[in-house]
Amino acid sequence: MPALACCVDAAVAPPGHAFAGDSSLPAPPFSGVTPATTAVATDSSHWSPSLSSDLYRINAWGGPYFTVNSSGNVAVRPHGSATLPHQEIDLLKIVKKVSDPKPDCGLGLQLPLIVRLPDVLKNRLESLQGAFDLAIQSHDYASHYQGVYPVKCNQDRFVVEDIVRFGSPFRFGLEAGSKPELLLAMSCLCKGNPEALLICNGFKDFEYISLALFARKLALNTVIVLEQEEELDVVIDLSKKLGVRPVIGARAKLKTKHSGHFGSTSGEKGKFGLTTTQILRVVKKLDQLGLLDCFQLLHFHIGSQIPSTALLADGVSEAAQIYCELVRLGANMKFIDIGGGLGIDYDGSKSSDSDISVSYSLEEYAAAVVRAVRNVCDRKSVKHPVICSESGRALVSHQSVMIFEAISSSACDDVPPMSAFALQYFIEGLTEEARADYRNLSAAAIRGEYEACLTYADQLKQRCIDQFKEGSLGIEQLATVDGLCDMVSKAIGASDPVRTYHVNLSVFTSIPDFWGIGQTFPIVPIHRLDQRPAVRGILSDLTCDSDGKIDKFIGGESSLPLHELEGNGGANGGGQKYYLGMFLGGAYQEALGGVHNLFGGPSVVRVSQSDGPHSFAVTRAVPGPSCSDVLRVMQHEPELMFETLKHRAEEYGQGDDGGMASAAVATSLARSFHNMPYLVATSSCCLTAMNNHGLYYCSEDDYDVVADSAGGGGGEEDQWSYCCA
């Protein structure tokens, strides 16, 4: 059985220690042959960037915004299909610019990193508008499209401001679902198109409705959408007191239901909206009060990630029927708001049977909506309404890339051959039952009986574990049987070849949808794509939590093709860094992320295409939250904590060094409060030089500052300011 006649992972007996032989035991049939490896061929001579692009499906899920360049790096095409070759932005060059120290002309920011791409956002908005404009023209639709962005998808100031600015020529507006979101939207739309809609969704109280009515006083095109019937009474009462004539909409609970995960808020049992009976009562009340002309918008939401245009058209047609009925009842209807649901293809499969894919393009989506509304309205002889959508995920997902590094991996150890001496050391303490299992394992290996080998290996291992727990077997022998069983599994192909790559990231903070709902995102190495990936792996984060791992990937894969880490990776390994990117995560992830294990958010840079030598310019850079920042989130006071530890250092650091040791400790402590919680590469760590006290200093200059401080130079406040500035 040549496949099984390889080495075993035997513990070596202590030097000078020998055992008598036992002729009743056969010599191991596993020695003398190099063990089989779990890695695939690493020869890159027949590999190319295009093969990596196919392997990771980059063109399928990333087109037209992401590609692999001739250097084997992922590149951004900021203007989509209109991007010229010299305008492509190499992600690895961005990482280098951002993470290099300031003396090397870098920005000195720590990873993980979010790269925001406003050019991509602009292109997405223009593409959405263009798709509806084309559909309206093609179907002789007698009104126009006017989108709004639901700020819940990503409330970042610059994302929202960009959307208002880029969307101004198209009357693009905003949607809010809470009071802070409404305040945000009101402020941003003061600089937008005066015709842009401000849609007020969500559950509302007195204050929320007051804000919405104030917005109308500020000449913002505000629509209060009723989510609950009782909200109407508050709207009527406050509008009279404030002297504002409101514009009112209603969210309808449709019969059409989206059956996927994201459709739980749709259908008659959905969380939001009014039934047809409630809508009729709203019409009647408004009519009695002479306010029926204020009822101008019908809103509905089938659910996020609508998988097919057939389901979309069914829901839009039902809503259009309700719209036409409201016109018949005398409402001054002008807008039909189809809500969200415009999906994106996370895995590139273009499938209608998946929660992470859709089977249509932007153009097909827009055409299905326009056609459905027009057909119903034409049948009812109703004027075509303005079509509004709340497409958030489709707008902002592509504009953000999360970049993080693998810092180490759990390598598969090579198993050295087992000598007769090592074998004797192994069997010395075995029970007779365990020896019988070993004999059976050897015989099965010679006969080539794979299943029997696994059975006897498992029995042998369990007996050895029992002996170890009883104290009759040493740890060296336990390690030997572990190695032996691993060798057997590898030899017959029953072992798990998947490695664990440890990444400098918190899944709970940066990819919460993966942990919370199993949402998968495209994850790809952003460089070395001109090399064949040698292994498969899963990703394990920094948190002390068993759920802090990524073991599901697009395409239904349970592992990801990865490259060997060079020199054991970055961080503490001291080798070449290995960067991975998570794509299409620009919606929801930042707002949903928590601070599990007190890991805060990533650093953020805003990168625009430019005519410079690297085709990009970093227009904004924000370091990630420091340890102090995340401690404050949990009501701690870092300054007081620092003072407590500093005084403790002074108390226990008295000696003949004039206080230099305690001052050095204070400096290190202050820097720890100031730094991000994530791991720092050894080469860039601020603590690099150790003196004879066993303490580390950031540099010779820092040592001088500490010495001056210990000599009476600078007070406690200066110490904190120096270290944390």
Q: What distance separates the 2 farthest-apart alpha carbons in the chain? A: 106
Each residue's pLDDT tens digit, 461-478: 999 999 999 988 888 888
Is 26 within a domain?
no
Residue 357 to residues 47, 230, 394, 395, 449: CA-CA distances in angstroms? 29, 38, 12, 16, 44
CA atoms within 13 A on the CB side of 155: 17
- How many other CB atoms are found less than 10 A from the CB of residue 272? 20
- Say what the pLDDT of residue 724 is: 36
Per-residue pLDDT band at 725 (split at 50, 70, 90): very low
Same domain, 575 and 480: no
Greater model confidence, 230 or 486 = 230
Determine contact, residues 110/624, Cβ cutoff 8 Å.
yes
| Residue that finishes a domain, picked among 446, 466, 492 | 492
- How many other CB atoms are found less than 10 A from the CB of residue 470? 8
| Residue that finishes a domain, picked among 362, 397, 432 | 397
Residues paired with residue 68 on neighbouring β-strands, in sequence order: 74
Same domain, 456 and 580: no
State how far the Cα of 170 lies from the Cα of 213, in Å rounded to an integer.
Answer: 24
Each residue's pLDDT tens digit, 676-707: 998 986 654 444 333 333 333 334 344 344 33
Residues with Cβ within 8 Å of residue 563, at least 6 apart in sequence: 525, 528, 531, 533, 534, 535, 578
Domain of 385, CATH number, reads 3.20.20.10
Q: What is the mean pLDDT of residues 666-673?
A: 88
Lowest mean pLDDT across 231-235, 417-421, 632-636 = 417-421
Q: What is the dihedral of CA 302, 227, 320, 356, to 10 degrees?
A: -10
Same domain, 128 and 112: no
Lowest mean pLDDT across 70-79, 91-100, 281-290, 676-685 = 676-685
Residues paired with residue 606 on neighbouring β-strands, in sequence order: 116, 620
| 692 token code pair | 């004879």
Q: What is the mean pLDDT of residues 71-79?
A: 97
Over 70: is that where the pLDDT of 519 sits? yes
Domain of 90, CATH number, reads 2.40.37.10
Same domain, 462 and 405: no
Q: Is 603 helix (H, G, I), strand (E, B) or coil?
A: strand
Is 13 within a domain?
no
Residue 135 to residues 146, 232, 322, 374: CA-CA distances in angstroms? 13, 35, 22, 11
Is 1 within a domain?
no
Q: Is 544 one of the annotated active-site residues of the chain?
A: yes
- Say what the pLDDT of residue 415 is: 57
Which among 544, 685, 723, 724 is annotated as catalytic? 544
Unique residue bearing structure tokens 């010395």: 428
Over 80: is that where the pLDDT of 82 sits? yes
Each residue's pLDDT tens digit, 119-140: 999 999 999 999 999 999 999 9
Same domain, 255 and 211: yes
State how far the Cα of 696 lies from the Cα of 278, in Å rounded to an integer.
Answer: 70
Same domain, 347 and 199: yes
Same domain, 75 and 206: no
Determine contact, residues 259/295, Cβ cutoff 8 Å.
no
Q: What sign has the CA pseudo-torsion 176, 177, 180, 181? A: negative
Q: What sign has the CA pseudo-torsion 418, 422, 426, 428? A: positive
Same domain, 611 and 646: no
Q: What is the mean pLDDT of residues 242-263?
A: 85
Please state whether beta strands 616-622 and 603-609 pair in parallel, antiparallel, or not at all (unpaired).
antiparallel
Residues with Cβ within 8 Å of residue 405, at least 6 apart in sequence: 111, 112, 503, 504, 569, 570, 571, 577, 578, 579, 580
- Say what the pLDDT of residue 43 is: 57
SS3 content of the chain, % helix, strand, coil (to 5): 45, 15, 45
Is 508 within a domain?
yes
- Say what the pLDDT of residue 49 is: 96
Is 22 within a domain?
no
Determine contact, residues 317/374, Cβ cutoff 8 Å.
no
Over 70: is that where the pLDDT of 37 sits? no
- Say what the pLDDT of residue 466 is: 92
Is 106 within a domain?
yes
Instruction: Name the DSSP class of 570.
Output: S
Q: Label residue 217 exposed, middle or buried (CB < 10 Å: 0-12, 13-18, 19+).
A: exposed
Lowest mean pLDDT across 146-150, 154-158, 500-504, 663-667 = 663-667
Same domain, 60 and 167: no
CA angle 276, 277, 282 (to 5 degrees): 95
Helix axis angle for 660-674 and 638-652, nearest 10°, is 160
Q: What is the mean pLDDT of residues 573-580?
A: 79
- Say what the pLDDT of residue 570 is: 54
- Say what the pLDDT of residue 435 is: 87
Q: Structural domain tally of the chain?
A: 4
Alpha-helix residue ranges (DSSP H) falling in 243-341: 276-288, 309-328
**Nearest C-alpha neighbor of 190 from the set 169, 166, 219, 211:** 219
State how far the Cα of 710 lies from the Cα of 441, in Å rounded to an integer.
Answer: 68
Each residue's pLDDT tens digit, 163-213: 999 999 999 999 999 999 999 999 999 999 999 999 999 999 999 999 999
Residues in the chain: 725
Same domain, 134 and 258: yes
Q: Which domain covers residue 104, as residue numbers?
A: 47-117+399-411+497-624
Please state whether beta strands 523-525 and 499-503 pair in parallel, antiparallel, or not at all (unpaired).
unpaired
Residues paired with residue 406 on neighbouring β-strands, in sequence order: 503, 578
Beta-sheet strands, E only, within 208-328: 221-226, 248-251, 295-299
Gyration radius of the chain's alpha carbons: 32
| 341 token code pair | 């649901």
Determine contact, residues 328/295, Cβ cutoff 8 Å.
no
Per-residue pLDDT band at 636 (split at 50, 70, 90): very high
State how far the Cα of 716 lies from the Cα of 721, in Å rounded to an integer.
Answer: 9
Over 60: is that where the pLDDT of 141 sits? yes
Greater model confidence, 392 or 414 = 392
Residues paired with residue 388 on neighbouring β-strands, in sequence order: 337
Give me the DSSP letters along 25-49. SPPPTT-SSPPPPSSPP---TT--H
**Nearest C-alpha neighbor of 279 from the set 295, 301, 266:** 295
State how far the Cα of 654 lies from the Cα of 658, in Å rounded to an integer.
Answer: 8
Beta-sheet strands, E only, within 460-577: 499-503, 523-525, 535-540, 549-550, 560-562
For 513, the enclosing helix (H) or strand (E) is helix 512-517
Is 670 within a domain?
yes
Instruction: Calculate the average pLDDT of the chain.
Output: 85
- Say what the pLDDT of residue 258 is: 67
Is 695 within a domain?
no
State how far the Cα of 307 lies from the Cα of 305, in Å rounded to an integer.
Answer: 6
| 53 token code pair | 């692009």
Considering the entire predicted model, what is its pTM? Answer: 0.85
Residue 270 to residues 254, 267, 313: CA-CA distances in angstroms? 9, 5, 19
State how far the Cα of 204 lies from the Cα of 169, in Å rounded to an integer.
Answer: 31
Determine contact, residues 231/209, Cβ cutoff 8 Å.
yes
Each residue's pLDDT tens digit, 393-406: 999 999 999 999 99
Over 90: is that where the pLDDT of 214 sits? yes
Determine contact, residues 562/535, Cβ cutoff 8 Å.
yes
| Residue that finishes a domain, picked among 363, 397, 431 | 397
Per-residue pLDDT band at 666 (split at 50, 70, 90): confident
Same domain, 520 and 444: no
Unique residue bearing structure tokens 């902002």: 396
Lowest mean pLDDT across 76-80, 308-312, 439-443 = 439-443
Instruction: Name the DSSP class of 693.
Output: T
Same domain, 67 and 182: no
